[in-house]
């Protein structure tokens, strides 16, 4: 059944219980309100520190937004984009779109004006809902963007080129709209990371989202007694579909604005969170802060926190070893997935398999996996090839891009573009992105393996390995290293540490710099290759 049915069920079973909490630790005033109270206040630029809504209010808000959309001519198959930071309004708006039979189209909040316009055109968006942080970017393209589209502003002091969300929905019915939504209907369009150019639009049916919800609940044994701390952006399939486990169990979740170690630990402590999904940099920041003594675990109530899981990128085993020293009672899981596979979980480690840390795991609930060579043949166990997945959460297509669809969907299998291998126990290990493999003197070198090794050095906070141009070898290994706060290191020290690596894997060029990551924690390697590859080319030209 569609995920909207789970929301209706939660209203019947848990209507007066808290569904969502929003915490904004950047606001100094400790204001705590429910959404109902917030609606009755005069609009103000002062955000409350903490807001909460029940399942009843969640559903009423979703219904009001759905009925407003229908009153403005939105029909089944139309598209409504959402460009907002995480907040209490986000998910009710998303579910309102689904209840109207339209497709929800979340936008990355890092998009430039040009990318917003591109994605709106590609997905054929009919309505765009945006928050106050995006006024400038929308205003720059408002004339073009508003042609044939309604722009809705979710905030105070509505700009002249948009209509107010609050005013549009104030008098709309809070009853469920009479729209039949089925598993076979198109439900959402998500966008790829766009690391090789402009993003691709990924089309999913409602059944993909329902399966993602069921899978998350099963993988992490989520019950009505759990409380999920959600930190990553809701526009991404990862955060949203992890939260869907809370939707199925009818349990509360906390949307945290802020990724600082104290913000995370304090939110988990004060809200009684039992499950926390972290990205690698956030987990490392927490550990580094504890190592330095800037925070003490004894200052927080964390006994109820049972599960820490990580996704979106390879996880260094050294990080989990350190984590278990501070949190020995924690269950741990890692999740692998793509927006094309309805987010995380098509491969997952499993909470019972912590002895296999370093692996991305085994096929998730309802999924199949195999590793293929360039000719489409399954490789022998232990060999490296491209990871392919198949299951009920698979995308329908890249919207309006049949050529790109045919390149990755083959006989019902999704070719992920990730290089992997399977060990004798059947666990899959991610080796690297296909396009990130370094070919040096004819030798294939996989950066992820070197990055994991470098991060085990006690002074290194983060590491990114890329191929840099070289006249003789084609490419050489370049390592960009971010050193932990309060520490210093030298090239000689790093090279001495790297003597444990085979000679051909050792970094030839070492660069100490901050490592850029996107909102979902992935290293922005195209940025690094453009920046340092260009410098290397200039150096080569000067030498010739």
Question: What's the pLDDT score for residue 198?
Answer: 74
Please report the pLDDT score of residue 316 as a whole number. 78
CA distance 336 to 363: 10
Place of tokens 């998910």: 91
Assess contact for 420 and 389: CB atoms under 8 A: no
Nearest-angstrom CA–CA distance, 226 and 246: 8
| Count of CB atoms situated within 10 Å of the CB of 320 | 19
Closest CA to 429 of 475, 385, 377: 385
CATH architecture of 3-230: 3-Layer(aba) Sandwich (3.40)
pLDDT of 237 reads 87
pLDDT at 259: 86
Backbone phi, then psi, for 325, in 5-degree steps? Answer: -70, -35
> In DSSP terms, which residues pair with 333 in a beta bridge?
309
> What is the predicted pLDDT for the residue at 138?
97
Residues 6+ apart with CB under 8 A from 35: 51, 52, 53, 57, 61, 88
Whole-number pLDDT of residue 539 = 56
Mind listing the pLDDT tens digit of every residue in the chain (544 residues)? 899 999 999 999 999 999 999 999 876 544 455 544 444 333 444 555 899 999 999 999 999 999 999 999 999 999 999 999 999 999 999 999 999 999 999 999 988 899 899 999 999 999 999 999 999 999 999 999 999 999 999 999 999 999 999 999 999 999 999 999 999 999 999 998 754 457 899 999 999 999 999 999 999 999 999 999 999 899 988 889 999 999 999 999 999 998 899 999 999 999 999 999 998 888 988 999 999 999 999 999 999 999 999 876 667 788 899 999 999 999 999 998 889 999 889 999 999 998 998 899 999 999 999 999 988 899 999 998 999 999 999 999 999 999 999 999 999 999 998 889 999 999 999 876 777 778 776 667 878 778 888 988 989 988 999 888 877 677 889 999 999 988 999 999 999 999 888 787 899 999 999 988 876 677 888 788 888 876 665 555 555 4
Strand order in the sheet with 397-398: 163-164, 150-153, 127-130, 79-83, 103-106, 186-191, 201-205, 397-398
Tokens of 269: 């402590």
Q: Render pLDDT for 516-542 as a digit per residue (tens, 0 to 9).
A: 887 667 788 878 888 887 666 555 555
Same fold, 3-230 and 440-543: no
Q: What is the DSSP letter of 102?
A: P
Tokens 């029909």 -> residue: 75
Do 125 and 103 meet the contact criterion of CB atoms below 8 Å apart?
Answer: no
The DSSP string of 238-260 is HHHHHHHHHHHHT--EEEES---
- Measured in whole angstroms, the distance separating CA 290 from the mean position of its chain's CA atoms is 25
DSSP 480-503: EEEEPTT----HHHHHHHGGGS-G
What is the structure's pLDDT at 436? 77
3-state secondary structure 124-181: CCCEEEECHHHHHHHHCCHHHHCCCCEEEECCCCCCCCCEEHHHHHCCCCCCCCCCCC
For Cα atoms 43, 49, 52, give the angle at the middle one, nearest 5 degrees.
Answer: 85
Q: Where are the domains of the chain?
A: 3-230, 440-543
Nearest to 400 by CA among 91, 189, 256, 158: 189
* CB atoms inside a 10 Å sphere around CB 127: 23
Q: Is the dihedral of CA 265, 271, 276, 281 positive or negative?
A: negative
Q: What is the dihedral of CA 229, 234, 238, 243, to 10 degrees?
A: 50
pLDDT at position 189: 97
DSSP state of 300: S
CATH, domain 440-543, list 3.50.50.60, 3.40.50.300, 3.30.300.30, 1.10.1740.10: 3.30.300.30
Residues 53 and 88 sit within 8 Å (Cβ to Cβ): yes
């Amino acid at each position: 059944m569609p995920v909207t049915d789970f929301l209706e069920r939660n209203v019947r079973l848990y209507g007066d219980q808290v569904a969502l909490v929003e915490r904004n630790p950047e606001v100094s005033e400790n204001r705590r309100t429910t959404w109902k109270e917030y609606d009755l206040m005069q609009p103000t630029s002062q955000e409350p520190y903490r807001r909460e809504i029940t399942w009843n209010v969640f559903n009423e808000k979703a219904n009001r937004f759905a009925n407003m959309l229908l009153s403005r001519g939105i029909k089944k198959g139309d598209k409504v984009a959402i460009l907002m930071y995480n907040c209490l309004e986000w998910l009710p708006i998303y579910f309102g779109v689904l209840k109207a039979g339209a497709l929800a189209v979340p936008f990355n909040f890092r998009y430039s004006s040009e990318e917003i316009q591109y994605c709106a055109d590609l997905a054929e968006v009919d309505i765009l809902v945006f928050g106050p942080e995006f006024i400038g970017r929308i205003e720059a393209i408002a004339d073009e963007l508003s042609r044939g589209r309604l722009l809705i502003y979710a905030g105070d002091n509505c700009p002249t080129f948009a209509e107010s969300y609050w005013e549009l929905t104030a008098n709309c019915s809070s009853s469920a709209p009479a729209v039949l939504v089925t598993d076979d209907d198109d439900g959402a369009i998500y966008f790829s990371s766009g690391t090789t150019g402009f993003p691709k639009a990924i089309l999913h049916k409602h059944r993909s989202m329902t399966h993602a919800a069921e899978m998350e609940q099963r993988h992490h044994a989520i019950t009505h007694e759990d409380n999920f701390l959600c930190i990553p952006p809701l526009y991404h399939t990862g955060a949203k579909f992890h939260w869907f486990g809370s939707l199925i169990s009818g349990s509360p979740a906390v949307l945290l604005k802020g990724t600082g170690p104290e913000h995370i630990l304090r939110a988990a402590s004060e809200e009684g969170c039992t499950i926390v999904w972290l990205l690698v940099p956030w987990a490392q920041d927490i550990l580094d802060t504890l190592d330095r003594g800037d925070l003490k675990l004894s200052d927080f109530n964390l006994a109820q926190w049972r599960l820490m899981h990580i996704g979106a990128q390879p996880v260094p085993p050294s990080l989990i070893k350190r984590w278990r020293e501070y949190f020995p009672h924690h269950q741990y899981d890692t999740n692998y997935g793509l927006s094309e596979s309805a987010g995380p979980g098509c491969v997952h480690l499993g909470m019972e398999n912590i002895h296999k840390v370093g692996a991305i795991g085994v096929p998730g609930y309802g999924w199949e996996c195999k590793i293929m060579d360039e000719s489409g043949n399954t490789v022998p166990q232990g060999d490296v090839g491209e990871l392919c997945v198949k299951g009920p959460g698979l995308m329908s297509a890249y919207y309006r891009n049949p050529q790109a669809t045919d390149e990755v969907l083959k006989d019902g299998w999704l070719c992920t573009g990730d290089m992997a291998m399977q060990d004798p126990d059947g666990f899959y290990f991610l080796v690297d992105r296909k396009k990130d493999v370094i070919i040096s003197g004819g030798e294939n070198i996989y950066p992820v393996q070197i990055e994991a090794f470098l991060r085990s050095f006690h002074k290194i906070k983060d590491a990114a390995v890329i191929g840099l141009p070289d006249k003789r070898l084609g490419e050489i290994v370049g390592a960009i290293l971010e050193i932990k706060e309060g520490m210093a290191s030298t090239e000689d020290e790093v090279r001495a540490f790297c003597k444990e690596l085979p000679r051909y894997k050792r970094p030839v060029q070492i660069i100490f710099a901050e490592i850029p990551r996107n909102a979902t924690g992935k290293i922005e390697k195209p940025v690094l290759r453009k920046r340092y590859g260009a410098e290397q080319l200039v150096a080569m030209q000067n030498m010739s």
